[in-house]
Amino acid sequence: MHLSELFKQLLRKLSQADVYFGQGTVSAEDDVVLLLMAVLVVDFETLNTMAHHPVSKKQQAQAHELMAKRIQLKRPMSYLVGFALFAGLTFAVDERVLIPRSPFAELIDRGFRPYLDMTQVNQVLDLCTGSGCIGLAIAHYYQHSHVDLADISSEALQVAASNTRQLNLSSRCTLIESDLWQNIEGTYDLIVTNPPYVGDDEHADLPVEFSHEPDMALVSPLNGLLLPIKILAAAAQYLNTDGYLFLEVGYSDSSLQSALPEVPFQWLEFNHGGQGICVFNRQDLIKYQPYFKAFIALHVS
């Protein structure tokens, strides 16, 4: 059998199944591509040249076995194959980390323009780093940057450490175990963060696929808003004078805006999908800090 025939078989099976896409892949085609990259042990570009390549019986059996697990267990494909594609790079992932899928990839590609000139950006913090995907992609593409990768989860940091080594970035990246700002000591030209922002109720209603991801990567108290607002409340003291904070809250953007009506959030637009990343400079974080702090004081005893 040729690869193109196997591809069609797998696609047919997955398209008819009751599964959810959205954890690093957005369609059945994407899932089948990841699966075949894993079975044939090739990268995306090579796979694209292999339509007429013969596939052994053993590879066919392996592919169908993985597909059966995807459908029966509703386990996201990236966990089954052990990797995800993000910002043009391959990241090792497993159930210790969220599967990379952030629209930050587009901002990295755009060089965070017009806010920053990445040739002038040296110190970067990726707070809530998970697999390290956002911070490591910045370090990979902007080769004079030094990136601190921080997370509360020592297990997530093990995955981030392995990705750092895999991408040969150990000399410019530092891992920090930290509950938000607790162990952060530096000041930065750029802070990126994709914290948990899903409320408890919404979490319970998510498709089964999300139950394979760590709760602590998704859920934040107060309807998803507490961790993002704690980040906003303290970010100014960790930014250099001309520095910027980029904070992702996904579809919690409107509830964040409603919780803080006095704050004029600037939401970025994306050409390749995704929503809910806002940007702040240091002066505005200082200006609106009383509102962030008042929200926390009101809701946290």
Ligand X SMILES: C[S@@+](CC[C@H](N)C(=O)[O-])C[C@H]1O[C@@H](n2cnc3c(N)ncnc32)[C@H](O)[C@@H]1O
Of 43, 65, 117, 179, which lies in the binding site for ligand X, with binding defined by CB under 6 A? Answer: 179
With CB atoms as reference, the residue minimizing the distance to ligand X is: 130
Of 14, 87, 112, 130, which lies in the binding site for ligand X, with binding defined by CB under 6 A? Answer: 130
In terms of C-beta distances under 8 Å and separation of at least 24 residues, what long-range contacts does 82-89 make, across chains too?
A: 82/38, 83/34, 83/38, 84/24, 84/34, 84/131, 84/133, 85/24, 85/34, 85/44, 86/24, 86/133, 86/137, 87/133, 87/137, 87/140, 87/141, 88/137, 89/133, 89/136, 89/137, 89/140, 89/167
Residues 185-224, mask of contacts with ligand X (x by CB under 6 A): ---------xxx-------------------xx-------
CB of 13 to ligand X, least distance (A): 28
CB of 226 to ligand X, least distance (A): 9
| Dihedral (CA of 35, 38, 39, 45) sign | positive
Q: Does 148 bind ligand X (CB under 6 A)?
A: no
CB of 176 to ligand X, least distance (A): 9
CB of 191 to ligand X, least distance (A): 12
Determine the Cα–Cα distance for residues 133 and 95; give it in Å rounded to an integer: 15
CB of 58 to ligand X, least distance (A): 33
Q: Does 128 bind ligand X (CB under 6 A)?
A: yes
Contact 93, 131 (CB under 8 A): yes
Contact 197, 231 (CB under 8 A): no
Contact 89, 140 (CB under 8 A): yes
CB of 181 to ligand X, least distance (A): 8
Q: How many other CB atoms are there within 10 angstroms of residue 33's CB atom?
A: 20
Q: Which is nearer to ligand X, 123 or 131 (CB)?
A: 131
Q: Which is nearer to ligand X, 39 or 199 (CB)?
A: 199
Contact 145, 121 (CB under 8 A): yes
Q: Does 249 bind ligand X (CB under 6 A)?
A: no
Q: Does 156 bind ligand X (CB under 6 A)?
A: yes
Contacts with ligand X, residue ranges (CB under 6 A) = 97-98, 100, 102, 128-131, 133-134, 151-153, 156, 178-180, 194-196, 216-217
